[in-house]
Amino acid sequence: MDILHAILLGIVEGITEFLPISSTGHLTITERLLGYDINDPAITAFTAFIQTGATLATVLYFREDIKRVFIAWIRGFRSPRARNADYRLGWGVIIGSIPIAIVGITFKDQIETTLRSMWLVAIGLLVWSAVMYVTERYAKQDRSEKQVTWKDTLFVGVVQCLALVPGVSRSGATISASFMRGFDRLTATRLAFFLSIPALMAAGILQVTTHASDIGERVGWVPTIVATVVSFFVAYVAVAWLLKFIAGHSFKSFILYRVVLGGVLIVLLATGVLS
């Protein structure tokens, strides 16, 4: 892989990972436009691995929250009297991460082959845009982070599995699921961040352990590391921006962007401009 391509893909990953517009979908489109075989296991592994850069940016940004929740979880585990909202959130993240781990491992081959389709990216963008619109408009959004339970995160975790389809968007899926449970926009977005950490880190580790030789031989570790580092810095800025943005805005602009992109993609595929 050319270093300039690696930098571009790192930027795309960093910007789109936590926005509800599908980072995998955008990476798939960009990789295809750059001439790469999106069904190549090496490209699939590269795509999953550079997401760890964005994940580490999330860990750094929420380091104090993660530390607080972890300490509360340890204390609550030792003493029932110390079981507060942070303790419940800690268990919630653990339980909410189980569904995507099971589905990801069970259907690993299908995810890396059948689901790597440009048509699926387009359909995922359009269909989930409708879900995002309905859930944000009609959900109550009157629950806060202190009210999160393991049942809530389990539900969100199950819906997160749909993000294995490119175009759906992991953050889009988790945010919509949180709306269904009645959480406000800030809580829904923070839950998306918290649940992304184990999911993306596990996916990156799994790909690098099973396809390390493919990455080294057909992509190259230097461009892979470059793309990961770029995604780290860009994602950190994107996380900070998104949290400020949702404080006073809805997700309508993201939904409109998804619909336009999905529509353009379908036209390009239907006319043979993009194979």
* Confidence check: pLDDT of 247 > 80: no
pLDDT in tens, 2-50: 999 999 999 999 999 989 998 888 998 999 999 998 888 889 889 989 9
Strand partners of residue 180: none
> What would the pLDDT profile of 86-127 be if each residue is shown by its tens digit?
999 999 999 999 999 899 888 877 777 777 788 888 999 999
Q: Is 208 exposed, middle or buried (0-12, 13-18, 19+ CB in 10 A)?
A: middle
Question: What is the distance between the alpha carbons of residues 268 and 270, in angstroms, rounded to a whole number?
Answer: 6
Give the separation between CA 178 and CA 174, rounded to whole angstroms.
6
Report percent pLDDT > 70 for the chain: 100
pLDDT at 228: 96
Using the predicted structure, report yes or no on whether residue 203 has a pLDDT greater than 90.
Answer: no
pTM above 0.75, yes or no: yes
What does the pLDDT read at residue 112?
72
Each residue of 140-168: pLDDT tens digit? 889 999 999 999 999 999 999 998 888 89
Amino acid type, 161: C
User: Long-range contacts of range 81-88, CB-CB < 8 Å, 24 or more positions apart?
Assistant: 85/145, 85/146, 85/147, 85/148, 88/148, 88/149, 88/150
* Sequence-ordered list of residues with C-beta below 8 angstroms from that of 200, at least 6 positions apart, any chain: 17, 51, 52, 54, 55, 170
62 or 202: which carries more pLDDT confidence?
A: 62
Structure tokens at 205: 């580790």
pLDDT for residue 206: 82
Q: What is the pLDDT of residue 39?
A: 84
Please name the residues in contact with 52: beta carbons below 8 A apart, sequence gap of 6 or more: 200, 201, 204, 205, 228
pLDDT score, position 207: 81
**201 and 55 Cβ atoms separated by less than 8 Å:** yes
Q: What is the DSSP string of 1-65?
A: --HHHHHHHHHHHHHHTTTTT-HHHHHHHHHHHTT--TT-HHHHHHHHHHHHHHHHHHHHHTHHH
Mean pLDDT of 128-143: 92
Q: What percent of the chain has pLDDT over 90?
A: 62
185-210 and 150-160 helices, crossing angle to 10°: 50
Structure tokens belonging to residue 8: 């571009």
